[in-house]
Amino acid sequence: MEFLEKGWKKADLHVHTSCSFDVLPAPELSPEALYKKGLDLGLDFITFTDHDTMEAYELLGLEREKLVPGVELTIRDLESAGHTIHINVYELDFEEFEELKELVKIEPKLLSVIKYLKKHKLPYIYNHPLWFEFHEEAEPSKVPELAKHFSVLEYNMHELKLKNEMIVALAERLGKGIAASTDAHTGKFGQAYTLAKGANFREFFRNIEKGQNFIVPEDLTRKFLIEEMNTWLDLTFEKSQQDREAKAFLSGIKPVDAVVKLSRSNLLSCFPSLNRKTMELFSLLANSGIPAAFYLHLEKVMAKQIAREIRDQKPK
Q: What is the CATH number of the domain that holds 178?
A: 3.20.20.140
Based on the domain organization, do 264 and 161 belong to the same domain? no
Based on the domain organization, do 248 and 153 belong to the same domain? no
User: What is the domain count for the chain?
Assistant: 2
The answer as to whether 313 is a domain residue is: no
Of 188, 164, 208, 170, nearest to 300 (Cα)? 164
- Pairing label, strands 83-90, 45-48: unpaired
pLDDT for residue 260 = 58
Domain boundary among 201, 216, 231: 216
Q: Are 178 and 205 in contact (CB under 8 A)?
A: no
Based on the domain organization, do 179 and 278 belong to the same domain? no
pLDDT for residue 256 = 58
pLDDT above 80 (res 65): yes
Spatial separation of the C-alpha atoms in residues 204 and 199, rounded to whole Å = 7
Based on the domain organization, do 184 and 226 belong to the same domain? no
H/E stretch holding 48: strand 45-48
pLDDT above 80 (res 130): yes
Based on the domain organization, do 52 and 76 belong to the same domain? yes
Q: What is the mean pLDDT of residues 138-163?
A: 94
- Helix, strand counts (H, E) of the chain: 13, 9
Based on the domain organization, do 39 and 158 belong to the same domain? yes
Q: What is the mean pLDDT of residues 15-35?
A: 94
Q: Are 249 and 22 in contact (CB under 8 A)?
A: yes
pLDDT above 70 (res 170): yes
The answer as to whether 259 is a domain residue is: yes
Spatial separation of the C-alpha atoms in residues 128 and 157, rounded to whole Å = 9
Based on the domain organization, do 134 and 265 belong to the same domain? no
> What is the residue-averaged pLDDT of the chain?
87
Can you give the residue range of the structural domain that contains 88? 2-216
Based on the domain organization, do 27 and 164 belong to the same domain? yes
